[in-house]
Structure 1
Amino acid sequence: MEPDLFTAAAEDRQLKDPSSSPLAVRMRPRTLDEVVGQQHLLKPGAPLRRLVGEGSGGPAGPSSVILWGPPGIGKTTLAYVVSLATQKRFVELSAITAGVKEVRAVIDGARRASGGYGKETVLFLDEIHRFSKAQQDSLLPAVENRWVTLIAATTENPYFAIISPLLSRSLLLTLESLTDDDLRSLVHRALTEERGLGGAVTLSDDAEAHLLRIAGGDARRALTALEAAAGAAISKGEDEITLETVEETVDRAAVKYDRDGDQHYDVASALIKSIRGSDVDAALHYLARMIEAGEDPRFIARRLMISASEDIGLADPTALPTAVAAAQAVAMIGFPEAALTLSHATIALALAPKSNAATNAIFAAQADVRKGMAGPVPAHLRDGHYKGAAKLGHAQGYVYPHDVPGAIAAQQYAPDAVQGRHYYEPTRYGAEARYADVVEKVRGRLRGDGGQADARP
């Protein structure tokens, strides 16, 4: 039996009655020129062009491709376009539901199709990082023998998630998130092209802005929302899709938030001040507003890292590592899952004990330096690792702290201009209380008037 009979039948039905398919399906790119975004992979001579044989004398190329990027940016679409451009049958599997048995069945079918019909196969394997090492190993014979052209998609770093033998045999392509301009171009085409809405309706500026926000960089989500809003507008006898219509059909109110205007800074400020004030619920409200408005998750993560040092500091030494870990996770996973990580960090920071002692300490030290209170480094602290240093008295008389009891040497460290100045004044909040207990003991030992016991916590 012809292996892609059902695919051919489905495509035939779509050609006869395009309106029967969802808008997202009708607007699916048929050539690389119709793909939005990923211009670094689509310019002349770029990897995707070479993959389909453009400018290389034929389509011979790698038998395995790995597409790495955040969700909703068109990895499946790219695989489908490659199959069309190379005139190969397209088979899709998800590593979430498929196993070795299903993969082997597709490979066997591909070998039969190639031998019986001369039709090669593109196997698109989504979420390949969910496959175990043994499951990924099962793909190697098909890749090495070119029984299929494997196009695998992953949202995880392939150097950690994919076995080395498969990675070394693959062309790794890093995909970028779709921008608002990319989605705007796609929406405009969907509004005007015959296979789309054919000019039946227009889209107001504020409705378009809201549509792009709720899409969150996902082309399918944008087209699905546009189709629903267009249907509602037409049913009401309207020839323009308004903001109200989009809100009604998508059941998601427009967030009054301009990423380039006052709201951007006002809401960000309110988030940080709510964390500083330990109001976890208010902080989560402002975080939700930023997420729903399509704020860059990396911007939010940067603000949380600043907050961890500015408002929490040593009152909870785990706050900064938590914020940094959140920023790293956000950079790797993107929205929508990044919302969970940002919530995690926001709650931890809001409920942490607060101290601005570290902030005040560096501000006070910087203020003295700006006043000219610097002075020369004490001679015994200067670099002594060069010929002639001893003659200058550099590093002479330096007491190595590890050679004295308690590892705190009574000697001068600060320049004369600021000797005796105390910049760090710890609070009694949270974990910083132990620093408050020890700081005066340490300072006493440095002055030479403390005991021999270890003053550190």
Structure 2
Amino acid sequence: MDLFESAGTDDVGVPLDSRAPLAVRMRPRTLDEVVGQDHLLVPGSPLRRLVDPPRDRDRGAGGAGGAGVASVILWGPPGTGKTTLAYLVARGSERRFVELSAVTAGVGDIRQVVSDARRRLVAGGEETVLFIDEVHRFSRSQQDALLPSVENRWVTLMAATTENPSFSVVSPLLSRSLLLTLRPLDVEAVRRLIDRAVADERGLAGTVSVDDDAREQIVRMAGSDARKSLTVLEVAAGAVLAGDGRPPVGTGRAADEQETPVVTLEDVEHAADVAAVRYDRAGDQHYDVVSAFIKSMRGSDPDATLHYLARMIAAGEDPRYIARRITIHAAEDVGLADPTVLSTAVAVQQAVALIGMPEAQLVLAEAALAVATAPKSNAVTTGIGQAMADVRAGRLGQVPAHLRDAHYAGAERLGHGRDYLYPHDFPHGVVAQRYLPDELAGRRYYEPTGNGFEKQLASRLEAVRRILDR
């Protein structure tokens, strides 16, 4: 019996395949084992009603076990549990489960499944859950082929997608389905999955332990992807056990004959084939690489920017984290020297969410290069910093009366809005008028540089301020 031999069957009598990947063997058997999606699992939620065992009163309500809940589209990043939830719905509701992949299935496959489902429904009342993975890969005609079966409830559709259904699923199908959004797993959820896989009889059954540094590296590399975390753990554990010379699980050898082998940081790095991209035990090099990436963009070095970006990608850094850092520094280090860079960075955040890796590395590189090659200005950063410092220090003053809200009864009597000058009534849309409180008159927060677009902005702002200060 090898390391991954089954311990028998799971709690509902389904055989456990000893050759199945760790991520498959550790697939939750109940909703209570699902982590990171608490917002979908509250009592009375649609998922709870789909998974709970059927009751007679539910059957009368138009859906065995589902209390009238129709088809479902599960939208979320990879490795967050979309397939798992589909399996739980089928198993918990005692329905037949059929799985199709949008990568390989065609209209003919859909029609065959639907035809078989209708026959079983009429002949014996057996209901079918049709799970379609990556439904966004279906063409419009393929998605349209699902509509009659969904509308007539010949099947209960469970469709999974990593792309925004508003753009990737046809409107008629979307309107006939319940959309459930899965959230990315947080760090604590991924840690729990790793610890469970190490201890559980379905997983590694305590044959190895994982030190803190190794576990944190797996968490960091996996991002929010549960499947990736368990895949890396499985490979690292297998290598450790093979190198340790310990007989596999189930040979009858006493567990306490020798110390349990430990999966270390080095084992994880080798398992993920990123040994050249080292993050040291304290995580310092991880933060060093991020810091170098940021400073290379700020320093206008596109080559160094791409180098450190590649190191982060190769080490499994969460692409959404990288996109957030790029967006922050589009404002912090470029600002109004090139206002278009921030728009590019925000668009890349959306593209990363829609596309996913590995293709997302292209849009990340474009945004990072946009920041690196743009003219630089920290005037936005300096300006808001000084304004916040004044506010925190209590340098506030009263809002001038002519700027106060005058859209309520009694405001005119208080003088609110009186003598306010509407700028569009004056040449160039600027009029001599006080905006800052008296206590801060003459205070300058934003001082544009002479770089990029801010060179033009500085000239205009100087003329505007001369009018305002008259």
**TM-score, scaled to structure 1:** 0.77
Asked if 2 retains the 8 angstrom alpha-carbon contact of 1:24 and 1:224, the reply is yes
- Residue 209 of structure 1 corresponds to 216
Give me the whole-angstrom Cα distance separating, in 2, the residues matched to 1:447 and 1:212.
56
Q: Does 1:150 align with 2:173?
A: no
Q: Does 1:110 align with 2:133?
A: no
- Residue 256 of structure 1 corresponds to 279
- Residue 3 of structure 2 corresponds to none
- Residue 345 of structure 2 corresponds to 323
Distance 1:363 1:152, change over 3 A: closer
Amino acid at match of 1:48: L
Q: Does 1:353 align with 2:387?
A: no
Give me the whole-angstrom Cα distance separating, in 1, the residues matched to 2:320 and 2:71.
32
Deviations 1:301-320 (A, max 9, x none): 44433322322122101122
Give 3-state SS (helix, strand or coil) of 2:72's partner. Answer: strand
Distance 1:56 1:171, change over 3 A: farther
Question: After superposition, where does 1:33-48 map in structure 2 within 5 Å?
Answer: 33-42=32-41, 44-48=43-47
Q: Does 1:304 align with 2:326?
A: yes
Give 3-state SS (helix, strand or coil) of 1:151's partner. Answer: strand
- Residue 175 of structure 1 corresponds to 182
Aligned with 2:232 (options 225, 249, 257): 225
Amino acid at match of 1:355: S
Deviations 1:176-219 (A, max 9, x none): 22344444444444444444444444444433333333333333
- Residue 336 of structure 2 corresponds to 314
Give 3-state SS (helix, strand or coil) of 2:431's partner. Answer: coil
Give me the whole-angstrom Cα distance separating, in 1, the residues matched to 2:32 and 2:396.
62
Deviation at 1:351, TM superposition (A): 1.1
Question: After superposition, where does 1:85-164 map in structure 2 within 5 Å?
Answer: 85-115=92-122, 119-164=126-171
Amino acid at match of 1:346: A
Q: Does 1:426 align with 2:431?
A: no
Asked if 1 retains the 8 angstrom alpha-carbon contact of 2:128 and 2:156, the reply is yes
Give 3-state SS (helix, strand or coil) of 1:177's partner. Answer: coil
Question: After superposition, where does 1:358-437 map in structure 2 within 5 Å?
Answer: 358-363=380-385, 399-410=421-432, 413=435, 419=441, 422-437=444-459
Distance 1:359 1:101, change over 3 A: same
Question: After superposition, where does 1:21-40 map in structure 2 within 5 Å?
Answer: 21-40=20-39
Give 3-state SS (helix, strand or coil) of 1:107's partner. Answer: helix
Q: How many residues align?
A: 435
- Residue 76 of structure 1 corresponds to 83
Give 3-state SS (helix, strand or coil) of 1:236's partner. Answer: helix
Distance 1:146 1:433, change over 3 A: same
Amino acid at match of 1:173: L
Give 3-state SS (helix, strand or coil) of 1:90's partner. Answer: strand
Deviation at 1:366, TM superposition (A): 5.8
Distance 1:281 1:220, change over 3 A: same
Q: Does 1:65 align with 2:72?
A: yes
Higher mean C-alpha deviation, range 155-164 or range 134-143: 155-164
Give me the whole-angstrom Cα distance separating, in 2, the residues matched to 1:186 and 1:375.
54
Give 3-state SS (helix, strand or coil) of 2:109's partner. Answer: helix
Deviation at 1:71, TM superposition (A): 1.1
**TM-score, scaled to structure 2:** 0.75
Give me the whole-angstrom Cα distance separating, in 2, the residues matched to 1:245 and 1:368.
51
Distance 1:353 1:380, change over 3 A: same
Distance 1:352 1:84, change over 3 A: same
Distance 1:370 1:171, change over 3 A: closer
RMSD: 4.0
Higher mean C-alpha deviation, range 423-432 or range 289-298: 289-298
Give unpaired runs (5+ residues) of structure 2. Answer: 1-9, 59-63, 247-260
